[in-house]
Amino acid sequence: MGSPTSPARARRYLDLGADYVLRSLGLLSEVFDGDLVRGAVFLAAVQASTQHLRNDPGRLDGAPISDASRRPVSLSAIARSLGLSIETTRRHVMRLDRDGFLARTPSGGVVVSSAHLDRPDLREAVKTNRNNIASVAQRLSRDHQGHAGAVEPTGDQGAGVNNAPTPAPPARL
């Protein structure tokens, strides 16, 4: 496919990245009834509640994060991370709370517990996302090994969520 900086390789990386992003957006759309912003608010809350653990080398084992380790997140922190107004964030959080994706704290923040994450729709989305990541990794590996001739198509097929070819182990959040 050429040098690591060749235009053909750059296009290939762009195609792979775009395919992965479209698949991810498709997953969010499925789980959150087509509301990508609500999905982003949920993901921001999940990420922010465990941000303090991201650089912990002991976290590389893949074990689920205990509820005691999760921290409440303020609406303003979620809003800032996504560039949303606090009112828009509040509306999405209210619906996420109503639908059982998270809970409000007495101080007005949010928590996403392991019970919230143990929903069948989220487990399936995580499993599919792992498959999507594995597919991108395999395709990158093939490209780097010089097997660029076995290129999988990208484009609008990537928007589907159940077309990832590689099975993955059960998901752990």
pLDDT tens figures, 39-69: 999 999 999 998 888 777 666 566 778 888 8
pLDDT digits (tens, 9 = 90+) for 2-49: 566 689 888 888 999 999 999 999 999 999 999 999 999 999 999 999
Alpha carbon of 68 to those of 57, 74, 128: distances in Å? Answer: 18, 17, 27
Which residues fall within 8 angstroms of residue 21, CB to CB, at 6 or more apart?
none
Residue pair 77/45 in contact by the 8 Å Cβ criterion: no
**What is the Cα–Cα distance from 132 to 74, expressed in whole angstroms?**
31
Residue pair 164/127 in contact by the 8 Å Cβ criterion: no
Q: Across the strands, what pairs with 111?
A: 103
Fold of the CATH domain 7-159: Arc Repressor Mutant, subunit A (1.10.10)
pTM: 0.76
Q: Across the strands, what pairs with 103?
A: 111
